[in-house]
Structure formats: structure tokens, C-alpha cells
Amino acid sequence: MYLLYSFRLALQSLWREKWINLLSVLTIAAGLFMITLTLFVVYNIDLATKRLPARFSVMLYLNDGLSEQETGSIIAQLKKNNAVEQARYIAKDKALEELKGVLKNADYILEGIDENPLPASIEIKLKKESVNIASVKKFAAEIKKIKSIAEVEYGEQFLNSIHSIKGMAKAGSLSLIIIMSAGVIFVCYSTIKIAFYRRKEEIETFKLLGATRGFIRAPFVIEGSVLGMFGGIASMAAALAFYHVLFYKVTATIPILKILVFPFETFPALPIVGLLLGIGGAVIALGRIRFS
């Protein structure tokens, strides 16, 4: 097989133009690092929105004067609903107590109120998968039909904004990743294109001596993949440095950032992604090899 020789040609060419190639590697690394940063941001947004369902609840306010039996049957009915994870009954007294707890020293506000103005309520925690706009709306509509429920309240605004933040993050990151990937491919493309033109004469001779397309392409594809892979390795180093600075230096002054999580599992993928983008750029640069 000629591949061994192709590797030799590729390495010779990479070495001959080492400074230009180093520049390409750094550019590729910058692009891949941006992709890593984007993934880091999206990953954390995703994580944050995944933690939210635990805090999200739907409040049902009950009519006054319901018997124990009636509230019991409402709770039983709720628990049968597939979306419900947990339903907690909060009696009128308990509600007032909780309010006092919240107001603490400001409980003078409640002075002079003889009758407990707060309604009894049921706090519902929904199952994780049901915490989204469509499911919650559907659920609210269903339970409104239950007799004796005065009002259903949930953070519609909150849900909406979570939804749109997630959507924007997704769209933004996806376009950024596509643009950056295209950029990396373009850098490989132009580097290989230049290398190909530099060796045009030699390639013409190879063709006349009976070289196949594979023989002509192989060194350039290898060059492209090496550039991409080294770019990937460099971006991995940059990502590790970024992680180090963020988690050991910056968090010392801004501790809240400790909640951020770094997706380490993406790191080993960087050289592979670089390699694939490099091959892509090289293949596009070579185009169709013609013999006549």
C-alpha cells in the first residue's frame, strides 16, 4: 500500500510550511475553543432549567367551608392525575402561620385582622416531564373543572421566560456552532488548497506516471486531518486552562460561579472533531481529480 508513503509526503509538507501550518492550527484551535465555550454555556443553561421543575409548583385555592371529606376526595382525585408528583394540603391556619413566618418582624401588618383571610390551598408538585407550558396549561384546565376549586395559580410568566431562554440559547448556540465549524473547515480548506497549488507540478507528474486519485489525495487528506487534530488538541489545552482559571481563580472572588458545571466529557472529542473537520476541508479543497 502507498499510505505509508502518503504519510511521509504529508509530514514533509507540514514541516516545510510549519509556520503557516502553525497559524492554521491556532485558528482551528480558536474556532474549536469557541465551540467548547458555547457548549459550556448551553450545558449550564440546560442544567439550570432542569433543576427548576423541582421548585415549580401549581397552587390550588379552595373555597371556604369544605369538609375534610371533600378536601380528601379532591386530593385523591389530584393524585390520580398522571402529571402529579406530590400534592400537599395547606389548611387555612397553616397558611396564616406560614405567612407570619415569612413576614417575621413585620407581622404587625396582620394585627387587627380577626378572621383568617387566607384560603386553604393545595400545593402541587408536577412530575419533571410535565413542567412545560403545554402540559401545565392542559393540567390547569383539567383541574379547574373540579368542583370547589376557587382558583388555580402557577408561574405562567416564569414558565414562558424559561421556555424562551432555552429556545434562544438553543438557536444561538446552534448557529454559533455551525458558523464556527464552517470557519474551521474553511481554514483547513484554504491551507490544503494552497498546499495543493504549491505541488501542482509534482501532482501533474504523478498523474502521468500512473498515480491513482487515492495516491494523489491521500497526503492532503492526511495533512488536513493532522491540522484539524492538532487544532483540537490545542483547543483542549485552552479549554483546560479556561476551566482552571474559572474554577480556581475567578470563583475565589465570585463564589456563585461554583454552581457552573464543566462538561469534561466533551474534551476528548475535540481532537476527533478537529480531525473530521480537517478531513472535510481537505476533501472539499481537492475536489474532483481529473486525468485528462
Partner 1 sequence: MIHFSNVTKFYERQAAIKNITFSVEKGEMIFMTGPSGAGKSTLLKIIYLSEKPDEGSVTIAEWDLSKLKESSIPFLRRNIGVVFQDFRLLDNRNVFDNVAIALRIRGMLDSEIQDWVMEILKMVNLRHKADSFPQALSGGEQQRVVIARAIVGEPTILLADEPTGNLDPDTAAGITRLFKEINARGTTVVIATHNRELYRNTGRRVFRIDSGNIVGEEIG
Q: Which residues bind partner 1 (CB under 8 A)?
A: 1-2, 4-5, 202, 204-213, 215, 290-292
- Which residue lies nearer to partner 1 by CB, 153 or 204? 204
Continuous segment of H or E residues that includes residue 13: helix 3-16
Contact 186, 285 (CB under 8 A): no
Of 281, 292, 286, 280, the closest CA to residue 215 belongs to 286
What is the nearest approach in angstroms of partner 1 to the Cβ of residue 212?
5
Residue 183 to residues 22, 84, 101, 172, 187, Cα–Cα distance (Å): 16, 47, 57, 16, 6
- Which residue lies nearer to partner 1 by CB, 13 or 38? 13
- Which residue lies nearer to partner 1 by CB, 106 or 209? 209
What is the nearest approach in angstroms of partner 1 to the Cβ of residue 22?
21
- Which residue lies nearer to partner 1 by CB, 113 or 208? 208
- Which residue lies nearer to partner 1 by CB, 164 or 212? 212
Give the residues across from 124 on adjacent strands: 58, 87
What is the nearest approach in angstroms of partner 1 to the Cβ of residue 16?
9
Task: Please provide residue 217's backbone torsions phi and psi, each rounded to the nearest 5 degrees.
Answer: -75, -40
Question: How far is it between the farthest Cα atoms of the chain?
Answer: 104
What is the nearest approach in angstroms of partner 1 to the Cβ of residue 217?
13
For residues 62 and 70, what is the distance between their CA atoms, to the nearest angstrom? Answer: 11
CA within 13 Å, CB half, 9: 20
Kindly state the DSSP code that residue 117 receives in the 8-state scheme.
Answer: -
What is the nearest approach in angstroms of partner 1 to the Cβ of residue 214?
9
- Which residue lies nearer to partner 1 by CB, 145 or 290? 290
What is the nearest approach in angstroms of partner 1 to the Cβ of residue 204?
8
CA 168 vs. chain centroid, Å, equals 11
| 3 state SS of 272 | helix
